[in-house]
Amino acid sequence: MTYTGNVSVGGPAQTRELPGLTITKVAVGPMNNNAYLLRCTSTGELLLIDAANEPETLLGLIGDTALATIVTTHRHGDHWQALEPLAKATGAETVAHVEDAPALPVAPSELVSHGDTIHVGDARLSIIHLRGHTPGSIALLYDGGGALAAEPHLFTGDSLFPGGPGNTDQDTARFNALITDLEERVFAELPDGTWVYPGHGGDTTIGAERPHVPEWRARGW
């Protein structure tokens, strides 16, 4: 299957091969959440981004390989409905930002902050703290494994979607925090070819969204 990033609840997962990493995307639950299973191509180690819902679906995706890590991008309940059963079933380490950790049903075994790194086998993921959707929302950046001409890949949770930032409930301070973090920590740092994997819906790229950032700031959401 050619990867498009367009998946639907009850439908098949989609997989793409990158230098050093395989990404499998599946949609789960009543809020059409995306979950991403990452596999290091050299060691086979697995990491799951957002155990959102449908633990049976996610366990089927994981298969017989041990799951090493579950990362929760933020504290909203639709992103962790399967966290506790999956952690119990797999024994995986759990990771979240320190500011959102108290709201999760499983106390994280590792707390992260902006600039930290975590690993899935030999592949490194950098933590980008994006304040506003929640206090401890994070994105995870894969730099392409250092391969020549490889583009970065960014998992944004609910902080960035095709068409704009995540919901900040019409709170001006929260919106200003999020749009500033996106401008300074994402758009100022990453090239246009960076692929963006959001917490719901289809994928996008930094290049597709960059021209619209001033419009987002002006409209205030």
Reported as a single tens digit per residue, the pLDDT across 24-38 is 999 999 999 999 999
Whether residue 147 has pLDDT greater than 90: no
Q: What is the pLDDT of residues 202-212, one digit of tens each?
A: 999 999 999 99
Q: Which three-class secondary structure string do you get for 148-201?
A: CCCCCEEEEECCEECCEECCCCCCHHHHHHHHHHHHHHHHCCCCCCCEEEECEC
Per-residue CA distances from 193 to 22, 68, 208 (Å): 18, 29, 9
Q: Could you tell me which of 175, 161, 172 has the C-alpha nearest to residue 133?
A: 175
Give the count of domains, the chain. Answer: 1
Helix or strand or coil: residue 73? coil
Average pLDDT over residues 134-148: 86
Domain annotation covers residue 4: no
User: Measuring CA to CA, how many Å separate 45 from each of 34, 88, 177?
Assistant: 20, 18, 35
Check residue 3 and report its DSSP letter: -
Examine residue 194 and state whether it is found in any structural domain, yes or no: yes
Calculate mean pLDDT across residues 35-58: 98
The residues, any chain, with a CB within 8 Å of residue 206's CB and separated by 6 or more, are 154, 186, 187, 190, 191, 192, 193, 194, 196
Q: Please report the pLDDT score of residue 1 as a whole number.
A: 59
In a domain, 3, yes or no: no
Would you say residue 166 lies in a domain? yes
Secondary structure of residue 37 in the 3-state scheme: strand
Domain containing 61: what range?
14-219
Task: With respect to residue 79, please indicate whether it lies within any of the assigned structural domains.
Answer: yes
CA 66 to chain centre: 20
Question: In angstroms, how far apart are the furthest CA atoms of the chain?
Answer: 49
Residue 76 near residue 200, CB atoms below 8 Å: no
Residue 109 pLDDT more than 90?
A: yes
Residue 144 confidence (pLDDT): 78
Q: Which of 11-20, 66-75, 126-135, 146-155 has the lowest average pLDDT?
A: 146-155
Please indicate, yes or no, if residue 121 is contained in any of the structural domains.
yes
Tell me: pLDDT of 149 over 80. Answer: no
Q: Is the pLDDT of residue 217 over 60?
A: yes
Beta bridge partners of 71: 49, 95
Residue 73 lies inside a defined structural domain of this protein: yes
Would the pTM of this model clear 0.85, i.e. be above it? yes
- Residue 218, pLDDT score: 97
Task: Give the separation between CA 30 and CA 64, rounded to whole angstroms.
Answer: 27
Q: Give a yes or no: residue 6 inside a domain.
A: no
Check which CATH number belongs to the domain holding 188 and give it: 3.60.15.10
Tokens of 67: 């799951």
The answer to whether residues 35 and 51 touch, using CB atoms and an 8 Å cutoff, is: yes
Looking at the predicted structure, is the pLDDT value of residue 85 above 60? yes
* Angle between helix 83-90 and 55-62 (nearest 10): 40
Average pLDDT over residues 115-142: 98
Residue 9 CB neighbour total at 10 angstroms: 15
Residue type, 108: P
